[in-house]
């Protein structure tokens, strides 16, 4: 299995632009998680889905952030409009039981 | 108070040393404890998983849980340069990969 796939791996954009991060979970996994990692705040859970349904989005920082999972093999995290404080590494993870498998991350820089 | 506290380090030790990494947590409802390893510019990967007090060994790695003190540890014996990474503790209230709470992560460097 290819593992969790994220794209793009790097994204540099200007403040105010829309950013869309993409994730393909491991086939057969029914849970999907979006995390954000920064030096200051560490690894923070933004939102997670079970069977494509959002279960807990309490970690989403504000309305500028939205996430969707239209089917079992694809999810997006969108930031609109983006701000410099959104600069971070965004990870997607998927799981079927006890173990979360992380993707390689998307390094986002907002200028 | 954060739910999980972990010293971010950095921690630097010579090759072959025994390394001790630690986390404390505040809520006794947490029952499941994990250690993840994250290499530079990679995603975290699960290293150890335990749900009971006591020790669990896997090769050179030992995870220790003391629920009475709300304290978890990861020991690395005969440390190698390839162990250089950031180590994150993670805890959960219920079994199953639901809402994990991660520590800040400790950056470890093993010097040859």
* Across A31-35, A81-85, B49-53, least confident range: B49-53
DSSP helix/strand/coil, B75: strand
CA distance A37 to A110: 15
pLDDT, average across residues A21-35: 96
Specify the DSSP element, H or E, that contains A66.
Answer: strand A65-71
Which residues from chain B sit within 8 angstroms of residue A97, using beta carbons? 96-97
CA distance B70 to B23: 8
Measured between CB atoms, which of A31, A44, A103 is closest to B97? A31
DSSP helix/strand/coil, B98: coil
Q: What's residue B104's pLDDT?
A: 92
Interchain proximity B97–A56, CB inside 8 Å: no
Interchain proximity A98–B102, CB inside 8 Å: no
pLDDT tops 80 at residue B98: no
pLDDT, average across residues B12-38: 93
The per-residue pLDDT for range A84-109, each reduced to its tens digit, is: 999 999 999 999 777 889 999 999 99
| Partners of A50 in beta bridges | A31, A53
Measured between CB atoms, which of B45, B95, B104 is closest to A102? B45
CA distance B104 to B112: 26
Q: What's residue B36's pLDDT?
A: 96
* Percent residues over pLDDT 70 in chain A: 99
Please state, rounded to an integer, the average pLDDT across all residues of chain A.
94
The per-residue pLDDT for range B40-96, each reduced to its tens digit, is: 999 999 999 888 788 999 999 999 999 999 999 999 999 999 999 999 999 987 665
pLDDT tops 70 at residue B97: no
Residue B66: Cβ within 10 Å count: 12
Cis peptide bond upstream of A29, omega within 30: no
β-strand B11-14 against B106-111: which pairing, if any? parallel
The per-residue pLDDT for range A61-78, each reduced to its tens digit, is: 889 999 999 999 999 999
| Partners of B66 in beta bridges | B71
Q: What's residue A80's pLDDT?
A: 97
Query: Which of B14, B37, B11, B12 lies closest to B103 in space, CA to CA?
Result: B37
Q: Quote the tokens at residue B22.
A: 């630690």
CA distance A31 to chain B (A): 8
> What residue in B sits closest to A88 (Cα-Cα)?
B41
Interchain proximity A98–B98, CB inside 8 Å: no
Asked if the C-beta of A90 comes within 8 angstroms of chain B's C-beta atoms, the answer is no
Which residues from chain B sit within 8 angstroms of residue A102, using beta carbons? 43-45
Q: What's residue A1's pLDDT?
A: 64
């Amino acid at each position: 299995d290819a593992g969790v796939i994220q794209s793009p791996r790097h994204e540099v954009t200007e403040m105010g632009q829309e950013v869309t991060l993409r994730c393909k979970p491991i086939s057969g996994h029914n849970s999907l998680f979006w995390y954000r990692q920064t030096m200051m705040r560490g690894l923070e859970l933004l939102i997670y889905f079970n069977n494509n349904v959002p279960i807990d989005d309490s970690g989403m920082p504000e309305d500028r952030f939205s996430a969707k999972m239209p089917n079992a093999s694809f999810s997006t995290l969108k930031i609109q409009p983006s701000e410099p404080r959104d600069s971070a590494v965004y990870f997607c993870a998927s799981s079927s039981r006890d173990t979360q498998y992380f993707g390689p991350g998307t390094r986002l820089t907002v200028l | 108070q954060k739910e999980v506290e972990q010293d971010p380090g950095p921690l630097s030790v010579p090759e072959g040393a025994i390394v001790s990494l630690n986390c404390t947590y505040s809520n006794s409802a947490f029952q499941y404890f994990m250690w993840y390893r994250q290499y530079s510019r990679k995603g975290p990967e699960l290293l150890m998983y335990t749900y009971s007090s006591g020790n669990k060994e896997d090769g050179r790695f030992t995870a220790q849980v003391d629920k009475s003190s709300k304290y978890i540890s990861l020991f690395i014996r005969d440390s190698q340069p390839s162990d250089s990474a950031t180590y994150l503790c993670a805890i959960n209230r219920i079994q199953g990969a639901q809402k994990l709470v991660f520590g800040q992560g400790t950056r470890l460097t093993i010097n040859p």
